[in-house]
Structure 1
Amino acid sequence: MMRSKVLSLVARAASNRMMSTATKLTTVEVNDKTGIATLTMNRPPVNGLNLELLQDLKSSIDEVEGNKSRGLILTSSSSTIFSAGLDILEMYKPDKDRIRAFWTQLQETWLALYGSSVPTAAAINGHSPAGGCLLATSCEYRVMVPNFTIGLNETQLGIVAPKWFMASFLSVLPQREAERALNQGRMFTTEEALKVGLIDETANSKEEAIEKCVAFIGTFAKVNPLARSLTKQQFRAADLQQLQNERQQDLEKFLFFVNQPAVQKGLGIYLEGLKKKAKKQ
């Protein structure tokens, strides 16, 4: 039932590719009392990570860094989807220049979120496959609402997760658990994710999830902000530096892979399957 609903929503997004937009796809609200910023993704119906949403995410992260917020909470305006991950239509029969811009922007957005100087938490109020899981695991803390799923399911789509996707996963899960899940393309239910440590807490609603994220960020209230930030960045420095050093190679590897006939065929079959399933809903 849940999988069918996700497929239906993804198919709707696939049928209406957003090449450009005058509307900002994220919002930032800073709580006057706590000083904590809530960054909300708002690209209906599934927050598919296309070029424009990634640009807005990076811009909003920079805004939070610049306004001296005490922390950042990432969430979604959807009631059922946190983010369905990378917009497949960016990769299927791609435009040469746009696909380069898309992947470069994805790199920049990850570097900004994973390397953010402020405490970060994800209020996961819906399904979070692939790129959605990447965003969540790039944060320092995760609170998830029940009856949803999360995971890096790239292998199920015939896609190989880059090393920096794996780095975010490995910052949360033990290597043995992460390797098995990545190889299987496993999607964890909220309860399973809590059990293995992929998320830190559960909440009965988005509002409660945000409250718990606020409580986590509040644990740093008496900690020196600069010391905390530098400590975090030392922990993550190797992962961040590796991508910085290999950005061009990573881009070229992605372009080579995504343009392989077998990959394009697989993406086409997947999109057709989504459309057929959506029509049956």
Structure 2
Amino acid sequence: MEALRKIGQTGGCLVSRALSASLHRRQTGAVPLLLLQQKRYYADPGSYVQVVRDTVYEDIAVVKMNRKPVNGLNKDFLTELNITLEKLENNASYRGVILTSANPGVFSAGLDITEMYQKSPEYTSAFWRSLQDFWMRLYSTNLATVAAINGHSPAGGCLMALSCDYRVMAQGKFTIGLNEVQLGIVAPFWFQELMIRTCGERETEKALQLGTLYSPEEALKVGVVDEIVPLEDVTSVARERLIKWLQIPDHARVLSKQMGRHQLREKLHSKQEEDIAFFTNFITKDAIQKSIGRYLEGLKNRKK
């Protein structure tokens, strides 16, 4: 009960600004002048993330990943995603986020493998920390989040989707799943526990040992995604589903979310250094480096 009390205190403080802004809009029916003056689109030159304010629902931000060619998650990209989400959290005019890709066909191919190959332990540790920090923010953000999965979403891409409140995936020859073992890498405990919370223990056990990549229909069946729609409708349907979340009073929605997610988030937070040390020690082993090297060589040969 003490833990829930603390969550309640924290959540109440964090949602107060967003709730005040929401009530203002509902009571007056007007959009604040400052909000109208803001640009609907912003992105720093050369950035990997684009943010577009929804043209109909002003409190929704569409976050588009744009690190070509496949939105591979390197340290800089993860840091930018984290900062982007933090900025949206601190902007009281936003209450919800649609996370998607600027390049239909690939939502995100997951972690950039080159970030784990022939790098110093110091760099590897910093890279893994950037992933942890972004995941903890995405998973526990007070913003309502919907993943608009408009393409392939293996490994880290799947992790991001699973961390959102709702997941809409495009129909077609796309795949999604935590397939780390296929590269000779082990999914850490927080990947595994997140999928258990989503799909159950037995399905997770099989999927993580085999590195299963699900088709959209298979992903829907086991609960990896909540809905599948034609590719051209992914964003619009994601918007419709997000509106349902935003119809709930912010304080009740946020507290319910935090009560459900606080335990796993805090588990990683308390074991963050241990998790970094484990990953760095594992990934820098000669056998793992050779396995990653063979994988990267295979990718080069395929391109030829």
AA paired with 2:76? E
Q: Partners in 1 of 2:166 and 2:248 — Cα distance? A: 17
1:190 aligned partner: 216
Per-residue deviation, residues 179-233 of structure 1 (Å, max 9, x unmatched): 1111110000111111211111112124x11111111121134321012101101
From 159, 166, 178, the equivalent of 1:152 is 178
Counterpart secondary structure, 2:176: strand
- Find runs of 4+ consecutive structure 1 residues off by over 6 angstroms: none
| 1:256 counterpart residue number | 281
Shift of 1:118: 1.2
Residues 13-51 of structure 1 show CA distances to partners (whole Å, capped at 9, x for unaligned) of xxxxxxxx9611001112253121111100000100001
Residue matched to 2:33: none
Q: Does 1:201 align with 2:208?
A: no
Structure 2: gaps spanning 5 or more residues = 1-43
Tell me the residue number matched to 1:28. Answer: 51
Bigger drift between 124-133 and 23-32 goes to 23-32
Distance in 1 between the 2:137 and 2:111 partners?
A: 17
- Tell whether 2:109 aligns with 1:84: yes
1:37-72: CA deviations, max 9, x gaps?
111100000100001110111011112211231211
RMSD of equivalent CA atoms: 1.4
Question: Which secondary structure state, in structure 2, belongs to the residue aligned with residue 265 of structure 1?
Answer: helix
Q: Aligned AA for 1:201?
A: E
Q: Which residue of 1 aligns with 2:263?
A: 238
TM-score, with length taken from structure 1: 0.89
Q: Does 1:98 align with 2:136?
A: no
Establish whether residue 164 from structure 1 lines up as the match of residue 190 from structure 2: yes
Q: Partners of 1:176 and 1:278 in 2: how far apart?
A: 37
| Paired residues of 2:144 and 2:246 also in contact (CA < 8 A) | no
Counterpart for residue 58 of structure 1: 82
Alpha-carbon distance change, 221 to 112 in structure 1, aligned in 2, over 3 angstroms = closer
Partner-residue secondary structure (3-state), 1:188:
coil
SS in 1 for 2:199: coil
Which residue of structure 2 lines up, in the alignment, with residue 6 of structure 1?
A: none
> 1:109-148 counterparts in 2 under 5 A?
109-146=134-171, 147-148=173-174
Matches of 1:140 and 1:36, distance apart in 2: 14
Q: Aligned equivalents of 1:63 and 1:213: distance in 2?
A: 21
Q: Distance in 2 between matches of 1:122 and 1:180?
A: 24
1:48 corresponds to which residue? 72
Question: What is the letter of the counterpart of residue 212 of structure 2?
Answer: R
Larger CA Rg, structure 1 vs 2: 2
Match of 1:180 among 206, 209, 222: 206
SS of residue in 2 equivalent to 1:235: helix
The letter for the 1-side match of 2:153 is S
Q: Using structure 2 for the length normalisation, give the TM-score.
A: 0.82
Q: Which runs of 5+ in 1 are unaligned?
A: 1-20
- The total of aligned residue pairs comes to 258
1:104: Cα distance to partner? 0.7
Supply the AA of the counterpart residue of 2:80: D
- Structure 2: distance between partners of 1:157 and 1:265: 11
Contact 1:27 / 1:60 at 8 angstroms: preserved in 2?
no
Partner of 2:253: 228
